[in-house]
A = this chain, B = another copy of it.
Amino acid sequence: MTNDQQSEHSDQTVDELDAKLLLLLTDEPRLGVLECSRRLGVARGTVQARLDRLTERGVLTGFPPALDLGAMGYGLTAFAVVEIAQGRRAEVCEGLAAISEVCEVHATTGQGDLFVRMVARSNADLQRVVDHIVDVPHVRRLSTSIALSTPVPPRVRPLLERVKGRSPR
C-alpha cells in the first residue's frame, strides 16, 4: 500500500490527511514535522509536502502566537456597530485602525456599517476607547455592547473534523 489518498476528488482544498494534520497541529502546535509524521503514520516527506502545499494554497497562513489579552490586562472585550457617513469607509477604517484597542473591523451589510471588536482594561478604559472611536471623523453613531462571556471561543475545529471523518451535517 502506498498511495491512499482516497479523497472524494471534490473541489475541496483540504483532504482528510490535511485535516488530520491541521487538527494535530491545532492541538499541539509546537510539534515538529517529524513528530507529526510519526503520529499520523506517514512519511516525514509527506507531512512536509502537505504543509508546503497548504501554505502555497493559502489555507495555512502561519502559526502566530496566541495571546490571552485578558492575561495581558485587557479584561474587557466589546463590540460596536458603527454607522458612518456615506462613502467614507476607507477614511473611517483608517481612523479606527489607528486605535490600538481596536482589534478587528469588518464592513457589513445592513446600513453600509462597520463592525468593530475592541478590548479595554476596565470600564473606564472602555469609555476612553469608545470616545476615541466616536472622535474618528465621519463616524455618525456608535452602538456598543460588552462581551460578558464567550461560550464558544474562536474555533475552526468542527470544520476540520468534518473533513477528517466525513461527519454529518
For the complex formed, measure the closest distance between the CB of A115 and the CB atoms of chain B, giving whole angstroms.
Answer: 6
Given A29-B65, A30-B63, A145-B108, answer yes or no on A72-B151 (Cβ-Cβ < 8 Å): no
Given A68-B58, A109-B146, also A93-B151 (CB < 8 A): yes
Nearest-neighbor residue (CB-CB) of A59 within chain B: B71
Is B71 in contact with A13, judged by CB distance below 8 angstroms? yes
| A side interface size, CB within 8 A | 69
Residues of chain B contacted by A90 (CB below 8 angstroms):
151
Task: Give the Cβ gap from A32 to chain B, nearest Cβ, in Å.
Answer: 10
Please report A residues at the B interface, Cβ cutoff 8 Å: 11-14, 22, 25-26, 29-30, 57-74, 77, 79, 89-90, 93, 96-97, 99-110, 113-115, 117, 119, 145-156, 158-162, 169
20 A-B residue contacts at CB 8 Å?
A25-B65, A30-B63, A57-B71, A58-B70, A60-B66, A60-B68, A61-B67, A61-B68, A63-B63, A69-B159, A72-B159, A77-B106, A79-B108, A104-B154, A105-B151, A105-B152, A107-B151, A109-B145, A109-B146, A115-B147
